[in-house]
C-alpha cells in the first residue's frame, strides 16, 4: 500500500451500525421494519453517530474514506449492513451522503481520487476499531 492511500473498509463502516438488533431478535426487527422511512433514517443516523464517536481517529478516517468512495463510485452500497437486513432507506447513495453529513457536519467533497484507494479485504475485530 502506498503511503497516503485512502483505506476503504466496508467492515469498519458497518460497525457504525453495530447498535442494530440481531437478526435473531424477531420482536425488535419487526418494530424496526415497521418504522416510517424518515423516522427510521433519523434513528439510524443518530445511532451511527453515537457508534462513530467511540472510534479512534484512524478508524474514523477509514469510515469517512469509505463513505466518500461509495458516494463517488456508487460501489459497495450493499456491503456495510449485515446481510439479511431489509431496511428501506430509499436512495442508498443519498443515505450515504446523509450519513457523511451527520458524522462530519459537512458535505462530501465534490471530487475523489480513486487512484489513491486501497480496499481492505481482511476482517477486523471490534477492539482494533475502537482503539485506533
Burial of 67 (0-12, 13-18, 19+ CB in 10 A): buried
C-alpha cell at 23: 437478526
Among all chains, which residue has been given the C-alpha cell 418494530? 31
Q: CA–CA separation, 59 vs 110, rounded Å?
A: 22
Task: For residue 19, give the nearest of 1, 2, 44, 37 by alpha carbon.
Answer: 44
Summarize pLDDT for 20-45 with one digit per residue, the tens: 877 677 788 788 778 888 898 999 99
Task: For residue 89, give the nearest of 127, 47, 37, 132 by alpha carbon.
Answer: 37
Q: CA–CA separation, 65 vs 6, rounded Å?
A: 6
Summarize pLDDT for 64-87 with one digit per residue, the tens: 999 999 999 998 877 766 655 667
CB-side exposure of 92: number of CA atoms within 13 Å? Answer: 15
Does the pTM of the predicted model rise above 0.75? yes
Amino acid at each position: 500500500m502506498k503511503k497516503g492511500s485512502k483505506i476503504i473498509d466496508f467492515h469498519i463502516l458497518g460497525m457504525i451500525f453495530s447498535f442494530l438488533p440481531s437478526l435473531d431478535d424477531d420482536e425488535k426487527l419487526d418494530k424496526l421494519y415497521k418504522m416510517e422511512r424518515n423516522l427510521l433514517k433519523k434513528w439510524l443516523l443518530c445511532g451511527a453517530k453515537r457508534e462513530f464517536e467511540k472510534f479512534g481517529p484512524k478508524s474514523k478516517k477509514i469510515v469517512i474514506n469509505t463513505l466518500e468512495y461509495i458516494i463517488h463510485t456508487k460501489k459497495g452500497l450493499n456491503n456495510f449492513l449485515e446481510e439479511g437486513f431489509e431496511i428501506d432507506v430509499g436512495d442508498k447513495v443519498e443515505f450515504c451522503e446523509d450519513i457523511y453529513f451527520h458524522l462530519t457536519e459537512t458535505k462530501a467533497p465534490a471530487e475523489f481520487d480513486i487512484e489513491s484507494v486501497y480496499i481492505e479485504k481482511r476482517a477486523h475485530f471490534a477492539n482494533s476499531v475502537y482503539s485506533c
